[in-house]
Amino acid sequence: MITYKEIDFFKKGIIENLLKNSYKDLFRYFPDEKRRLYDQWKREDKDSFNNPDTIGRHVLFTCINDNPIGYFSWDDRQYPLGIVGQNCILPDYQGQGYGKKQIEYIIELFQCDKFNEVKAITGDHEYFITAQKMYLSCGFKQKRKIQGDLFKLVEFSKRI
């Protein structure tokens, strides 16, 4: 059975490890970015656990039988626009709809708080085709492409 658990059920390091494992194939395309992304993910983990009442309260873990298989986050500081943050699933569980369930859960949270739009950004690179298709299947529309650090990014938006 799938459950969503808050950050206080876990120890520091879990966010970093989930991201490293979920995105390990990304480094086939961008091997020189491994250290930078690892450092970024370590900071995300640290910031989430060190700030449980702010950043940490916008983090949930997707679990099967209490074992975390993914992690997702969101940002509600731009009300009435909600922002999707991280959305990762471990490779053994990818392609089974768990990432989509995480996005649908974020949308529900924003709907309950009367947000009127949700924005998500993913890469405009072949590695992120699955993510792009997932956002479209959740009812998002592609808004624009913007230049990111490594590659172009695709911004998606959904009215709710």
Q: Which two tokens stand for residue 73?
A: 């986050």
Q: How many domains, the chain?
A: 1
**Stretch (H or E) spanning 40:** helix 34-50
Residue 150: is its pLDDT beyond 90?
no
pLDDT in tens, 18-50: 999 999 999 999 999 999 999 999 999 999 999
- The CATH number that applies at residue 131 is 3.40.630.30
Residue 95 sits in which domain range?
2-159
State how far the Cα of 109 lies from the Cα of 1, in Å rounded to an integer: 21
Instruction: Decide: 10 and 52 in contact? Cβ < 8 Å.
Output: no
Identity (one letter) of the amino acid at 77? R
pLDDT in tens, 92-146: 999 999 999 999 999 999 999 999 999 999 999 999 999 999 999 999 999 999 9
| Burial status of residue 105 (CB atoms within 10 A of its CB: 0-12, 13-18, 19 or more) | middle
What's the rounded mean pLDDT across residues 67-83?
A: 98
pTM, rounded to two decimals: 0.94
